Amino acid sequence: MSRTLQLRLAYNGERFSGWQIQPDQRTVQGVLRDAIQNICGETVIPKGSSRTDAGVHAADQVASFTTSSTYTPDVWRRALNAHLPKDVVVLRSSDVHPSFNPTTEAVTKRYRYRIHDGEVRPVLARPFVWQWNSRLDVSAMQKASTLLIGEHDFSSFENPSSPRASKVRKINDLTIQRHTGGECSSDSEIWIEIEGNGFLYNMVRIIAGTLLMVGTGKRPETWVGDVLADRQRTSAGPTAPAQGLLLLQINLKPQTVVAARNGSSS
């Protein structure tokens, strides 16, 4: 009898061509498929909540797959961690309802974008930050960011190569803070944290690139409102590089959590 397993995954995106399987590319979905195949002999393409791009990191991606194996979720977790490469790890595993779909069950997603703003480039945090050579005005970025909170048409913040049917998304939270205690004990790192009910393609990275234009003083705070109103990609700032982006958390629908708690492990 077949059952569905839900996984919580973390990965370092540095050496992956993103989540989604592509021919001749090393992808997270691909190494997960290979690990499942090595463990139980079944070929199954796991589903993911978020199709992270090449270079994007994840602290808590949700994935699921169907299998006829009777291993308990914890045995599956350990076996997967033994078979997966060192830059991916299964944090937790649980049985879920067979209809579970990690894309549609995600209620909110939270991302962190890290910018290092200082002339001296970071050498330890390098694969995880966008290096900007001059000091940014965080206060201006904060004020500008409030214009994006709430439900809006985010057409200006979508990479048009992969358009979604509806451009309306809701941002619940957007906080921008200097992070101290980082490399060399400097305060040269800015964390943009953003939570919403969903994101258009490259939306977080375009928001980061747009807020950076305000942080440099090249654009006034109110400009972000104009960008939003324009509803066209060319009005916004550049797409910030993938390496600064971390998928931080995915919150699932409540019923899914209940199903996981009651799920059979065989």
Out of 107, 168, 184, 258, the residue judged to bind its own copies by CB under 8 A: 184
193 lies in the site for its own copies, by CB under 8 A? no
Which residue is catalytic, options 24, 34, 53, 173? Answer: 53
Residue with tokens 């205690």: 181
- Closest approach of Cβ 51 to its own copies, in Å? 18
Our CB check for its own copies shows the closer of 116 and 169 to be 116
Q: Respond yes or no: is residue 173 known to be catalytic.
A: no
| Of the candidates 179, 208, 181, the residue with the CA atom closest to the CA atom of residue 194 | 208
Distance CA 5, CA 143 (A): 42
Cα dihedral angle (156, 160, 165, 166), rounded to 10 degrees?
Answer: -10
The Cβ-side half-sphere exposure at 22, using a 13 Å CA radius, reads 12
Q: Which is nearer to its own copies, 129 or 203 (CB)?
A: 129
CB 135 within 8 A of CB 212: no
The 44-83 site mask, x for binding its own copies (CB under 8 A), equals: -------------x-xx--------------------x--
Find the shortest distance in angstroms from Cβ 125 to its own copies: 9
Q: 4 vs 71, 146, 150, 178, CA distance in Å?
A: 12, 40, 34, 41
Of the pair 66, 72, the CB lying nearest its own copies is at 72
Looking at residues 81 to 140 of the shown chain, list those that interact with its own copies (rule: CB under 8 A). Answer: 81, 86-91, 120-124, 126, 128
Pick 12 or 66: Cβ nearer its own copies? 12
Shortest distance in whole angstroms from residue 62 CB to its own copies: 14
* Beta bridge partners of residue 193, listed in sequence order: 112, 175
DSSP annotation string for 124-177: SSGGGSEEESS---HHHHHHHHGGG-EEEE-GGGS-TTS--S--EEEEEEEEEE
Q: How many residues interact with its own copies (rule CB under 8 A)? A: 22
Taking the alpha carbons of 160, 226, 240, 168 in that order, is the dihedral positive or negative?
A: negative
Q: Least distance from C-beta 249 to its own copies, angstroms?
A: 9
Q: Which is nearer to its own copies, 44 or 59 (CB)?
A: 59
Cite the active site residues.
53
Interacting residues toward its own copies by CB under 8 A: 10-12, 57, 59-60, 81, 86-91, 120-124, 126, 128, 183-184
